Chains A and B, each alone.
Chain A
Amino acid sequence: MPDEFYRSHILLCQDPECLAKGANDIEEALLRELDAHGLRDEVNLLETSRLGHCHTGPEIVVYPEGVTYINLTPAAVTEIVNEHLLKGRVAKKYLFTGEARKDEELRAPTAKEIRIIMARCGVIDPENIEDYIADDGYAALAKALLQMTPRQVIDQVLQSGLRGRGGAGFPTGKKWEFAAAQKSDVKYIICNADEGDPGAFMNRRVLEGDPHSVLEGMIIAGYAFGAHQGYIYCRAEYPIAVRTLKIALRQAREFGFFGKNILGTGFDFDVELRIGAGAFVCGEETALMASIEGRRGEPRPRPPFPAVAGLWGKPTIINNVETLANVPNIIRHGAAWFAQIGTEKTKGTKTFTLAGDVVRTGLIEVPLGITLREVVFDVAGGIKDGKGFKAIQTGGPMGGCIPEHLLDTPLDYENLGALGSIMGSGGLVVMDDTTCMVDIARFFMDFIQDESCGKCVPCRIGTRRILEILQRICAGDGEEGDIEQLERLSKYILAGSLCGLGQGAPNPILTTIKHFRAEYEAHIKEKRCPAKVCKGLITYRILDTCPGCMVCARNCPSKAITGEKQKVHVINTDLCERCGICMTVCKFDTIVVE
């Protein structure tokens, strides 16, 4: 609360890992101890998202000293309150002495990053609307509602050049213009928070760290094209995001940002939260609407576009979380401010998640137009463990793999499209030279065929056939002509599918064949996996230097390792499932893959 003064603030980490380790017990203990010493008026306890040392959690940070305590138990809390808060001494026993606070998802920005969407993440308390308001939150809403006509709002968004951040990159202002032109009493705005791409969690972090920016963007969008009801469709795999959103919605309603007569302007708007049930295809807009309507999430042909006939047949706009989070900034700072960032055709910043074999994984926010090389080597710090770069996969499972010689490509919708990949929602997976590209293609196809809704036959059956061929190749049973067959099937799936899932399904196959054809050929013709990954083409062997510690034999799930104590062990390759557990548990590096 702004009016109250506290001499100390305690931040208590409430991320899933700390909660699992008993953060709730710590909170109870803290409150009990503070009460016991009559410190509740002097010390403020704040629940926060991830603080950074969760593997040694539960943890707290005490300000103004900025001291981190880890490995907490209720008994430790008693001691810390006694020592730190009563006597003013740091309780050394639980003090975290390692490297300073490190948020492994969202680090301090590097030189090439610009934080706009993520500016508040980790800075404000996402569960307190006053934090957001204090940082100019809802100022854009006031500006739009009180000083601008709906048309002016749309014009600002048009001029800013903002394009949909869900992946397709359609100009947001144009979309709103279509919906505004529809004559209908009922229109809907949907926030697509069904972030399903494996390896992507930008939207989750925004929803968990700055939920009000998305809500504010939704109200402004509703005002711009005349919607009075919004839906947020969030995936069920994000329990913390759902919880944060529920709190944010409740607080925004209490403060009068939702409901009737918002800010005394006569504009009514409300939002309902809908939770998915574990179907990737529901991120596609027509499938998402079917799911909100309570049906199977199957896409339908367009036109009619949702802006004309969407949810329950009414004009509907579906915007991605990040798109909506951009809107308040555009309104507040003006279209020209936004348009100065990025390239000629693609304005603004974009959040990406970096995963895979780079030094710094996690979230980044960079100006569009930055090259992939800058992202991999400057922002992410290059490949870890001194290995070589092999490929970067953009755009999630329907994206393509981009090899080293194309790394100077600027990151924007057009350039990625030209390489047979997509921008997608922003997942970037970097692979080092120990990754097998055929195995990666098989992995993505496994995902896609499982998540294909089954409506379009080419997608349903074609992806299954592709998967079978890839499985065969990985098992060492590849045949002459398989590559051509994959290319042919890809062409049919691309041409014969309704939605982005089917149309994007062949991308991982086509790009890996294009750039890594030699690897496919090695699998098929030489029955060899150059990266030593594909289980059907490798064997594990124990070297003669094995000291016979028996750890591998104990850990082998299929009991394929035999040997006596202090004697060299042997792997029975007929029993071996090639899971690799033995190699990870061996302390002497005496197990090799061949």
Chain B
Amino acid sequence: MRSKDLRTVLMAAALQPAEDDPVAVAEQRARIDAIIAEHAPKAGSTMLILNEIQSQIGHVSKPMQNYIAEKLRIPLKDVFGVITFYSFFTMKPRGKHRVAFCLGTACYVSGAEMLIEKAQQLLGVKLGETTPDRKFTIEPCRCLGACSQAPAIIVDDNVHGRNTPDRVVTVLRKYERV
């Protein structure tokens, strides 16, 4: 085995399950290739490509970053740097539903923290974590601009306003079934 191959294998084994490696999974590779082919001709394409991959696949794992950097012929640091800079990118898969609690000023003063406490209690995970069944990821987020409905949460792309701790439970139960 050549040393480069050995390194790849060791890295993949140590860091990520094989399912996250586009070199190993043809289906994922095809998806990433298609995204790159569509956006690469545009100026400043790195963000566009990563945005697409994040929303289609759900995360950008380290092997994926390697693959993208090689495909775009840019240093890995330019991919990794972007991913760690922007809060929308994740390197681990998120849960099926992303539940984000708005921590804008209006939501904060109208009790966003109580909602978070309740959700943590209900799901048994802390903010920023994913439930073991991969149903929910809960995280804080920046102002959703839904201040007149404070405190607001966003589940996937849907904003739910005027929450109370009880209402959060109702909302989460609804998504649990889908």
Binding site for B on A (CB under 8 A): 16-17, 19-20, 54-55, 104-105, 195-201, 204, 236-239, 272, 274-280, 291-298, 312, 353, 355-357, 361-362, 393, 397, 427, 429, 431, 435, 443, 447, 451, 453, 555, 557, 577, 579-581, 584-585
Contact = CB atoms under 8 A, between A and B. Distances in A.
A279 B85 contact: yes
A453 B108 CA distance: 23
14 contacts: A16-B154, A16-B158, A17-B160, A54-B161, A55-B162, A196-B142, A237-B145, A274-B44, A277-B88, A278-B141, A279-B86, A293-B43, A298-B85, A579-B117
A46 B142 CA distance: 31
Nearest to B145: A201
Q: Which 9 A-B pairs have the closest CB atoms?
A: A201-B145, A198-B104, A277-B86, A294-B46, A198-B143, A20-B158, A294-B44, A355-B106, A278-B87
Contacts of B54: 277
A274 B44 CA distance: 10
B126 to A, nearest CB: 12
B114 interface: yes
Contacts of B85: 279, 296-298, 453
Nearest to A16: B159
A362 B150 CA distance: 11
A17 B159 contact: yes
Contacts of B118: 557, 581
A274 B106 CA distance: 27
A506 B129 CA distance: 32
A200 B87 contact: no
A272 B47 CA distance: 14
A355 B147 contact: yes
B47 A201 contact: no
B30 interface: no
Contacts of B160: 17, 20
Q: How large is the interface on B (under 10, 10 to 19, 20 to 34, 35 or more residues)?
A: 35 or more
A274 B47 contact: yes
B3 interface: no
B44 A292 contact: yes
A46 to B, nearest CB: 22
Contact of A393 (B44, B81, B82, B105): B105
A364 to B, nearest CB: 12
A579 B114 contact: yes
A195 B145 contact: yes
A361 B121 CA distance: 31
Nearest to B156: A20
B78 interface: yes
A374 B44 CA distance: 46
A557 B162 CA distance: 21
Nearest to A361: B148
B36 interface: no
Which among A277, A297, A298 has the greatest number of chain B C-beta atoms within 10 A?
A277
A291 B47 contact: yes
B157 interface: yes
Contact of A199 (B87, B104, B155, B161): B104
B104 A294 contact: no
Interface string B109-151: 1010110011011000000000000000000011111111110
B69 interface: no
A557 B120 contact: yes
A237 B142 contact: yes
Which among B47, B103, B159 has the greatest number of chain A C-beta atoms within 10 A?
B47
